[in-house]
Amino acid sequence: MSKVIVVTSGKGGVGKTTSSAAFAAGLASKGHKTAVIDFDVGLRNLDLIMGVERRVVYDFVNVINGESTLKQALIKDKRVENLYILPASQTRDKDALNKEGVESVINELKADGFDYIVCDSPAGIEKGAFMALYFADEAIVVTNPEVSSVRDSDRILGILQSRSKVAEEGGTVKEHLLITRYSPERVEGGDMLSKEDIQEILSIPLLGVIPESGSVLQASNSGNPVIMDKESQAGQAYMDVVSRFLGEDIPLRFVESEEKKGFFKKLFG
Amino acid sequence: MGLFSFFKKEKKKNTASLAKERLQILIAHEHSDTSTAAPDYLPKLQEELIGVIRKYVKVDDNAVNVKLEKGDNFDVLELNITLPENN
């Protein structure tokens, strides 16, 4: 049974594309056939983050319009087995995506034996974001520990549970909270919302916490999903997210500052 | 220096809790907004309910109060019917 997962946030710049790329690459590296679709029509960027920008020939909208087959548009990743990327179109046509077209692409991916279809949502609550979440079974809500991001996440959760297909049919989209750009030092210093604060406000289950890390920028500079950087804290935290998503019980890492860790070590070590 | 850093830390401590407090108030407000704005069938429902109840009990026009509250997992339709005294 294939699953459709939307990576969404409402707010822009919180790490949706970075998270989509990392999450999809992680699922694939664990042996699951995974497709990641860029829904940001007009502002395509997933291809760049995944380092396949020079291999884009056809895109999502070409497939919907019947200008290419899905097979022609899907880019097979050269680093990770089982990973495929469907880039967004750079068209300025706002109505390029429609429910019927998106549904037919998702159904074809399901029929092709994809285990996971990851939908990288654009920011905002307009058509592209709506199309990305409409067919989702589960949602990963990417949130920064910052007021506007938390508020927008709450907005998008409301839309998810009222306007998605699953919701229209009386069901519930399974929600996962993914906190990114987390700085344990600043949380302990009292000037950043803690993971507990965010969870209390949004009241959805926490899937993972990705620490603020220079390796995320390095990864996007070089076009490698950050999860492939196994040395970095962000990469390891993303791998934990994937494992947790697949049902493993893994404790959170990198959520305490070195200072605090040292203190507890002194106390109990 | 010690005193200075103590005050600096105190000041910082407030901003995260302030953020949380502001968000909780704002989000509670936004949620209640959608619950009052959403159901446009409520007035008609109220009108018809009064009609049904009047078949059995004499009640005022404003004796029936209908409210919809949105919860986390389900919505609650709250019906409040005030019966006349000496009944």
Give Cβ neighbours of residue A65 (< 8 Å, ≥ 6 apart).
Answer: A101
Q: How far is A50 from chain B (nearest CA, A)?
A: 34
> In 3-state terms, what secondary structure has residue A82?
coil
- What gap in Å lies between CA A133 and CA A131, rounded to an integer? 6
Pairing of strands A75-76, A138-143: unpaired
Percentage of chain A beyond pLDDT 90 is: 93
Q: How far is B12 from chain A (nearest CA, A)?
A: 5
Q: What pLDDT, in 10s, does the model give residues A167-181?
A: 999 999 999 999 999
Spans of chain B, pLDDT less than 70: 1-13, 33-40, 70, 72, 86-87
pLDDT of res. B12: 46
The answer, yes or no, to whether residue A45 has pLDDT greater than 90, is yes
CB contacts, 8 Å: A191 with chain B: 12-13, 15-16
A-B C-beta contacts closer than 8 Å: 43
Scanning A124-163 for CB atoms below 8 A from B yields 146-147, 150-151, 154-155, 158
Q: What pLDDT, in 10s, does the model give residues A137-150?
A: 999 999 999 999 99
Of B12, B26, B72, nearest to A151 by CB-CB distance is B26
The answer, yes or no, to whether residue A91 has pLDDT greater than 80, is yes
Q: Is the CB of residue B5 less than 8 Å away from at least one CB of chain A?
A: no
ipTM for this model: 0.87
Q: Do A192 and B23 count as a contact with CB atoms less than 8 A apart?
A: no
Alpha carbon distances (Å) from A231 to A29, A214, A216: 16, 12, 12
Mutation test of the interface with chain B: which of A188, A197, A204, choosing the one with the most B Cβ atoms within 10 A?
A: A197
> In 3-state terms, what secondary structure has residue A243?
helix
The answer, yes or no, to whether residue A35 has pLDDT greater than 50, is yes
Cut 0.95: pTM above it? no
pLDDT of res. B79: 86
Q: Do A189 and B9 count as a contact with CB atoms less than 8 A apart?
A: yes
